[in-house]
Structure 1
Amino acid sequence: MVVFLLTASSACSPPEPVATDDRVAMVRIGTVAPSATSAPATAGSIADTSNSTTVPVPDTSTTTSGVADASGTEASNPTTTTPPDHGFTVARAVGGWLDTYRSPVDAEVWWSLSNPGPYEGDRVVLVLDSQDDWLLVDLPVRPNGTTAWVRRSDVTLSTHDARIVVDLSAMRLWAWEDGVLVAEGAIALGTDVTPTPPGRYFLNEIQAQEDPDTLFGSWVLGTSGFSEVLEEVDGGDPAVAIHGTNDPSVLGTRVSLGCIRVHEDVVARLALLPLGTPVEVRA
C-alpha cells in the first residue's frame, strides 16, 4: 500500500524580465451562446530558441461576441463551433482516507489518499467508469494518467458540466461551463527544459492566495498532473498548476517550470469551476 500525503509544489519559477506588452485580447471573460464560441485548433509544437521567447497571440482567435477583452471593450467576429463534451462525474471522499485498488478483485490497498487533500480542500477524483459497486478513477499521482478503483461506498458522487482546454502550441486557454464559454486568455507555459506536459488531468485543488502580488497571482488551481522532467520542486512533488500572475507581460512566453500562468481576470473565473473539472492540455 502507498500512503499518499501529497506535498506538492507548483511547477513554476520567477518570471524572467520581459518588456511590457499590450497584447490584443489577452483575456476574455463573459457569457456567450454555445453556438458562438471560439475553440482551439490542435496544432504542432512551437520551437523556441530561448527559455523566455515571446510568441504573438494571433488575432484570429481573440474575439467572441459579448465577451470583453483585456481593455474592457467588446470583442467581435466569433469563430462558430460546437463546445467540447463537458459532462463529468466527480467522486468526493467521505472518510479521512480514500483507499484505491488496482482492480475490483484486488483486496490489497494500492494508493491511500489523504482527505482533506492534497492541501485543505476536499479530496476528489475524476470518475472514468463504473463496475457494480466500484468506480474507475483518475489518480493524482505519477506517472500521469494512472488510474485505480475505489469503492462506491467510500465516496459521494456529483455531476457537473465544465471543461478547461489548454493549447500549448497556440499558447491559449479556454474554459466552458454549462455549455457556455466563460473564459479565454493567453498563457505562459514551461520552458523547453521544463515543458508543460500534455495530457488529460482534472482540478483537485483551488486555493486563494493571501498575497496576490507574487508570480502565483490571486489564485492557484492545482491539477492532477505532474512535471515529467523534474523530480521535485522546493522539496515537494512538481505538480502542474494553473494560476494567475502579478506580471501579465509574461503571457505568451515560455517561462515556468511547467505551470500554466493566465491573466488575473481569467484565473478568477476559473476559480469558480467545480473541483474535478477536466483539464485537457494539448501539445
Structure 2
Amino acid sequence: MHLKLWQIDAFANKPLEGNPAAVVPLETWLEAELMQAIARENNLSETAFFVKTGDGRYDLRWFTPRGEVDLCGHATLGSAAVLFEELEPALNSVRFATRSGELVVTRGADGLTMTLPSDPPAPFAAPSGYAEAIGEALGTIPPRELFAARYLVGVWDDPKTIRDMKGCGEIAALLRQQNFWGMAVTAAGDENYDFVSRFFAPDKGVPEDPVTGSSHTILTPFWAERLGKKTMKARQVSPRGGDLTVTDDGARTVLAGKCALYMKGEIFV
C-alpha cells in the first residue's frame, strides 16, 4: 500500500517554525492500529488522517505517537492547508467532522482561520502541596493559580518564568494523579503579546508540543475574561515557538495563523 504524506508547519510563516504535523489523505479508513503505527513512525506530536465525504467535507482523526486524541488544532490547520494548496485548490473553506464536532477552516489573504469549541477552565481544587510539587517538577516556582479543563492549566505572574522552563521535567506522574495527560502553563504576555504559554503532554509521547491549538480553546476564554479583550495576540514560547491570533467568540474559539509546507512524500506499508 502506498499513501501520500505531507508535513506542514502550522502557525508558521516559513518552514522550520511553528508546529509540524503529518497529514495523510485516505480513500477509506485504515485500521486504527495501522494509523497508530504510522503516527508512531512519524514521531510528530500529531499525524492527521482524513477521508472525503462530500464537497468540501471530510472526516478527520488525529494520532499522537501513543494514541488517538479528541482534538488537535495545528494538525487540523495543516490538513486544511494540504487541501487548499495541494488537493482541492478551488476550495476556500473546508468542514471536518471530528470527535469534537464539526471544525471549519477558511482561507484568506492573511492565512487560515479555524473555529474550535471553547473549553473555559474552572478553578482546580488542588490537594495540599500539589502546586508546590508542580513547580518543583517543572524546575520553577509554584503556579499562582491552577485551573482545570481538558488539560490542567497553571498560571504564573511573569512570562519570563514560562519562557525559562526547561521542559516537562517530571510532570507526568503528577498529572496522572489527577487524571490529566496534558498541562498548559501560561502568563500574561510580553513583547507585544497578550499572553504566552507552553504545553506538555509526556503521557501522549509529546514531552512539549511546539504550538497547540487545543490548549488555546482553554486559554482564549480565560485570558479574554482576565484582560477584557475579545481578540488577542498569543505566543507559544516553546523552543520552536509560534504565533496565533485568537478570538473569544463565546461557545467557539477562533484561531488564525499561517502554514508552511516542509515536506511531501510517500508511505510504503
Name whichever structure is richer in helix by fraction.
2
Tell me which interval the TM-score lies in, with the shorter structure as reference length.
under 0.3
TM-score for both structures, normalised by structure 1: 0.23
Instruction: Decide which structure has the larger Cα Rg and report it.
Output: 1
Normalised to the residue count of structure 2, the TM-score between the two structures is 0.24
